[in-house]
Protein backbone atom coordinates (compact mmCIF):
# COMPACT_ATOMS: atom_id res chain seq x y z
CA UNK A 1 0.00 0.00 0.00
CA UNK A 2 1.01 3.59 -0.56
CA UNK A 3 0.02 6.58 1.58
CA UNK A 4 -0.14 9.89 -0.28
CA UNK A 5 0.32 12.84 2.05
CA UNK A 6 1.29 16.46 2.61
CA UNK A 7 2.20 18.45 5.72
CA UNK A 8 -1.30 19.81 6.30
CA UNK A 9 -3.15 18.75 9.48
CA UNK A 10 -5.19 15.80 8.22
CA UNK A 11 -2.45 14.25 6.08
CA UNK A 12 -0.08 14.79 9.01
CA UNK A 13 -2.51 12.87 11.20
CA UNK A 14 -2.58 10.00 8.70
CA UNK A 15 1.21 9.81 8.51
CA UNK A 16 1.54 9.95 12.31
CA UNK A 17 -1.01 7.15 12.62
CA UNK A 18 0.76 4.99 10.04
CA UNK A 19 4.09 5.47 11.76
CA UNK A 20 2.68 4.88 15.23
CA UNK A 21 1.15 1.63 13.98
CA UNK A 22 4.29 0.74 12.00
CA UNK A 23 1.91 0.00 9.15
CA UNK A 24 3.32 -1.60 5.98
CA UNK A 25 2.94 1.40 3.69
CA UNK A 26 5.13 3.38 1.36
CA UNK A 27 4.93 7.14 1.77
CA UNK A 28 4.63 9.51 -1.18
CA UNK A 29 4.24 13.27 -1.09
CA UNK A 30 1.35 14.46 -3.25
CA UNK A 31 -0.20 17.78 -4.23
CA UNK A 32 -3.42 17.11 -6.17
CA UNK A 33 -4.31 20.81 -6.35
CA UNK A 34 -0.98 21.84 -7.86
CA UNK A 35 -1.20 23.10 -11.46
CA UNK A 36 -1.65 20.24 -13.89
CA UNK A 37 -2.01 17.56 -11.23
CA UNK A 38 -5.79 17.23 -10.82
CA UNK A 39 -6.39 14.64 -13.52
CA UNK A 40 -3.60 12.46 -12.19
CA UNK A 41 -5.24 12.21 -8.77
CA UNK A 42 -8.94 12.41 -9.63
CA UNK A 43 -9.25 8.63 -10.19
CA UNK A 44 -8.00 8.16 -6.62
CA UNK A 45 -10.23 10.71 -4.90
CA UNK A 46 -13.01 12.94 -6.24
CA UNK A 47 -12.21 15.40 -3.45
CA UNK A 48 -8.67 16.04 -4.77
CA UNK A 49 -7.34 16.12 -1.23
CA UNK A 50 -4.77 14.06 0.61
CA UNK A 51 -4.35 11.75 2.44
CA UNK A 52 -5.11 8.92 0.06
CA UNK A 53 -4.36 5.26 0.71
CA UNK A 54 -3.64 3.45 -2.56
CA UNK A 55 -3.95 -0.31 -2.54
CA UNK A 56 -1.73 -2.65 -4.49
CA UNK A 57 -4.47 -3.20 -7.08
CA UNK A 58 -4.70 0.53 -7.78
CA UNK A 59 -7.94 1.15 -5.89
CA UNK A 60 -7.95 3.71 -3.12
CA UNK A 61 -9.39 4.91 0.15
CA UNK A 62 -9.63 8.57 1.13
CA UNK A 63 -10.50 10.53 4.27
CA UNK A 64 -8.16 10.38 7.25
CA UNK A 65 -10.36 8.54 9.74
CA UNK A 66 -11.21 5.83 7.22
CA UNK A 67 -7.51 5.40 6.44
CA UNK A 68 -6.66 5.16 10.15
CA UNK A 69 -9.31 2.47 10.57
CA UNK A 70 -7.95 0.50 7.62
CA UNK A 71 -4.33 0.71 8.78
CA UNK A 72 -5.16 -0.36 12.33
CA UNK A 73 -7.04 -3.38 11.01
CA UNK A 74 -4.16 -4.18 8.67
CA UNK A 75 -1.80 -4.58 11.63
CA UNK A 76 -4.48 -5.86 14.04
CA UNK A 77 -3.96 -2.97 16.43
CA UNK A 78 -6.47 -1.92 19.10
CA UNK A 79 -5.45 1.68 18.40
CA UNK A 80 -8.72 1.76 16.45
CA UNK A 81 -11.10 0.11 18.86
CA UNK A 82 -13.44 -2.61 17.63
CA UNK A 83 -16.35 -4.53 19.08
CA UNK A 84 -18.02 -3.14 22.18
CA UNK A 85 -15.20 -0.61 22.70
CA UNK A 86 -15.69 1.08 19.33
CA UNK A 87 -18.74 3.22 20.24
CA UNK A 88 -16.82 5.01 23.00
CA UNK A 89 -14.06 5.89 20.55
CA UNK A 90 -16.55 7.03 17.91
CA UNK A 91 -18.21 9.20 20.54
CA UNK A 92 -15.00 11.21 20.89
CA UNK A 93 -14.36 11.34 17.15
CA UNK A 94 -17.86 12.68 16.54
CA UNK A 95 -17.84 15.15 19.43
CA UNK A 96 -14.33 16.37 18.69
CA UNK A 97 -14.97 17.12 15.04
CA UNK A 98 -17.96 19.28 15.91
CA UNK A 99 -16.44 20.92 18.97
CA UNK A 100 -12.81 20.89 20.13
CA UNK A 101 -11.19 19.97 16.80
CA UNK A 102 -13.47 22.35 14.94
CA UNK A 103 -12.62 25.18 17.33
CA UNK A 104 -8.88 24.60 16.90
CA UNK A 105 -9.31 24.49 13.13
CA UNK A 106 -11.29 27.75 13.06
CA UNK A 107 -8.60 29.66 14.94
CA UNK A 108 -5.67 28.02 13.17
CA UNK A 109 -7.22 28.73 9.77
CA UNK A 110 -7.23 32.46 10.50
CA UNK A 111 -3.82 32.77 12.17
CA UNK A 112 -1.85 30.07 10.34
CA UNK A 113 -3.41 28.74 7.12
CA UNK A 114 -4.64 32.05 5.69
CA UNK A 115 -1.39 33.77 6.52
CA UNK A 116 0.79 30.98 5.06
CA UNK A 117 -1.05 31.01 1.75
CA UNK A 118 -1.91 34.70 1.51
CA UNK A 119 -5.66 34.11 1.72
CA UNK A 120 -6.48 37.46 3.26
CA UNK A 121 -6.35 39.18 6.64
CA UNK A 122 -7.34 37.56 9.91
CA UNK A 123 -11.11 37.62 10.40
CA UNK A 124 -11.39 38.66 14.05
CA UNK A 125 -15.03 37.65 14.14
CA UNK A 126 -14.20 34.08 13.14
CA UNK A 127 -11.36 34.00 15.67
CA UNK A 128 -13.76 35.10 18.40
CA UNK A 129 -16.24 32.37 17.42
CA UNK A 130 -13.46 29.79 17.38
CA UNK A 131 -12.10 30.83 20.76
CA UNK A 132 -15.60 30.78 22.27
CA UNK A 133 -16.13 27.24 21.01
CA UNK A 134 -12.64 26.33 22.21
CA UNK A 135 -13.40 27.57 25.73
CA UNK A 136 -16.67 25.68 25.85
CA UNK A 137 -15.29 22.40 24.51
CA UNK A 138 -11.95 22.61 26.33
CA UNK A 139 -13.79 22.89 29.64
CA UNK A 140 -15.51 19.57 28.97
CA UNK A 141 -12.31 17.96 27.74
CA UNK A 142 -10.36 19.25 30.74
CA UNK A 143 -12.83 17.65 33.14
CA UNK A 144 -12.58 14.30 31.37
CA UNK A 145 -8.79 14.28 31.11
CA UNK A 146 -8.35 15.32 34.73
CA UNK A 147 -9.63 11.86 35.66
CA UNK A 148 -7.55 9.75 33.24
CA UNK A 149 -4.52 10.11 30.97
CA UNK A 150 -6.29 9.31 27.68
CA UNK A 151 -9.76 9.82 26.26
CA UNK A 152 -10.62 6.15 26.68
CA UNK A 153 -10.20 4.52 30.06
CA UNK A 154 -8.14 1.60 28.78
CA UNK A 155 -5.37 3.57 27.07
CA UNK A 156 -4.38 5.60 24.06
CA UNK A 157 -6.50 5.30 20.93
CA UNK A 158 -6.97 6.98 17.58
CA UNK A 159 -9.45 9.28 19.31
CA UNK A 160 -6.51 10.95 21.08
CA UNK A 161 -4.67 11.51 17.81
CA UNK A 162 -7.78 12.90 16.11
CA UNK A 163 -8.58 15.22 19.02
CA UNK A 164 -5.02 16.59 18.85
CA UNK A 165 -4.91 16.91 15.07
CA UNK A 166 -4.85 20.73 15.02
CA UNK A 167 -2.59 21.22 18.05
CA UNK A 168 0.91 20.95 16.50
CA UNK A 169 0.75 24.70 15.74
CA UNK A 170 -1.20 25.71 18.84
CA UNK A 171 1.40 28.25 19.92
CA UNK A 172 1.39 30.07 16.57
CA UNK A 173 -2.41 29.97 16.52
CA UNK A 174 -2.59 31.34 20.06
CA UNK A 175 -4.76 28.53 21.40
CA UNK A 176 -4.76 28.94 25.20
CA UNK A 177 -3.68 25.44 26.28
CA UNK A 178 -1.96 27.03 29.27
CA UNK A 179 -5.39 27.57 30.81
CA UNK A 180 -6.09 23.82 30.86
CA UNK A 181 -3.47 21.79 32.76
CA UNK A 182 -5.04 18.38 32.10
CA UNK A 183 -5.27 19.05 28.36
CA UNK A 184 -1.72 20.39 28.37
CA UNK A 185 -0.45 17.25 30.14
CA UNK A 186 -2.41 15.01 27.77
CA UNK A 187 -0.98 16.73 24.73
CA UNK A 188 2.53 16.50 26.19
CA UNK A 189 2.07 12.73 26.37
CA UNK A 190 1.12 12.68 22.70
CA UNK A 191 4.03 14.94 21.74
CA UNK A 192 6.39 12.54 23.51
CA UNK A 193 5.58 9.92 20.86
CA UNK A 194 8.15 10.11 18.01
CA UNK A 195 5.48 9.20 15.47
CA UNK A 196 3.57 12.33 16.48
CA UNK A 197 6.36 14.78 17.22
CA UNK A 198 8.15 14.19 13.91
CA UNK A 199 5.97 12.09 11.60
CA UNK A 200 7.85 13.23 8.49
CA UNK A 201 11.31 12.17 9.67
CA UNK A 202 13.21 10.80 6.69
CA UNK A 203 10.37 11.50 4.25
CA UNK A 204 10.15 13.81 1.27
CA UNK A 205 7.91 16.44 2.82
CA UNK A 206 8.38 20.02 1.60
CA UNK A 207 7.85 22.52 4.39
CA UNK A 208 4.68 24.56 4.51
CA UNK A 209 5.07 28.26 3.71
CA UNK A 210 6.18 30.16 6.83
CA UNK A 211 3.67 32.19 8.81
CA UNK A 212 4.53 35.86 8.25
CA UNK A 213 5.62 37.75 11.34
CA UNK A 214 3.00 40.11 12.66
CA UNK A 215 3.72 43.72 11.91
Give the per-residue pLDDT at 209.
80
Give the per-residue pLDDT at 208.
81
Kindly report, residue by residue over 104-153, the tens digit of the pLDDT.
999 999 999 898 888 899 999 999 999 999 999 999 999 999 999 999 99
Cβ-Cβ contacts under 8 Å for 71 (sequence gap 6 or more): 17, 18, 21, 23, 25, 53
- Say how far apart CA 13 and CA 166 lie, in whole Å: 9
Question: Which is it for strands 2-5 and 26-29: parallel, antiparallel or unpaired?
Answer: parallel
**% pLDDT > 90, the chain:** 90
Region 66-85: what's the mean pLDDT? 97
- Say how far apart CA 184 and CA 164 lie, in whole Å: 11
Residue 21 near residue 1, CB atoms below 8 Å: no
Question: Which is it for strands 2-5 and 52-54: parallel, antiparallel or unpaired?
Answer: antiparallel
Instruction: Count Cβ atoms within 10 A of the Cβ of residue 208 and give its class: 0-12 exposed, 13-18 middle, 19 or more buried.
Output: middle
pLDDT interval class at 18 (50, 70, 90): very high
Give the residue among 105, 77, 102 at the shortest CA–CA distance from 89.
Answer: 77
Q: What is the DSSP letter of 109?
A: I
Q: How far is CA 165 from CA 8, 46, 103, 159, in A?
A: 10, 23, 12, 10
| Torsion on CA atoms 8, 175, 98, 52, rounded to nearest 10 | 10
- pLDDT higher than threshold 50 for residue 215: no
- pLDDT higher than threshold 60 for residue 214: no
pLDDT interval class at 213 (50, 70, 90): low
Give the per-residue pLDDT at 210.
83
- Say how far apart CA 94 and CA 108 lie, in whole Å: 20
Kindly report, residue by residue over 148-176, the tens digit of the pLDDT.
999 999 999 999 999 999 999 999 999 99
Q: Identify the helix (H) or strand (E) that includes residue 170.
A: helix 170-173
pLDDT interval class at 201 (50, 70, 90): very high
Residue 184 near residue 142, CB atoms below 8 Å: no
**Secondary structure string (H, E, C) spanning 53-73:** EECCCCCEEECHHHHHHHHHH
- pLDDT higher than threshold 80 for residue 69: yes
Mean residue pLDDT across the chain: 95
Residue 123 near residue 110, CB atoms below 8 Å: yes
Amino acid sequence: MKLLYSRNPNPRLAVATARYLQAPVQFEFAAPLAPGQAERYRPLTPALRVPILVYDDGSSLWETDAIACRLAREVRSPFWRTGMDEPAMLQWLSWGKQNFVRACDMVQFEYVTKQCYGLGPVDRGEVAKGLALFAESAALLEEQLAARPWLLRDGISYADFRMASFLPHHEIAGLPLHDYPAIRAWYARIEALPAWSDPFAGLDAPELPPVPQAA
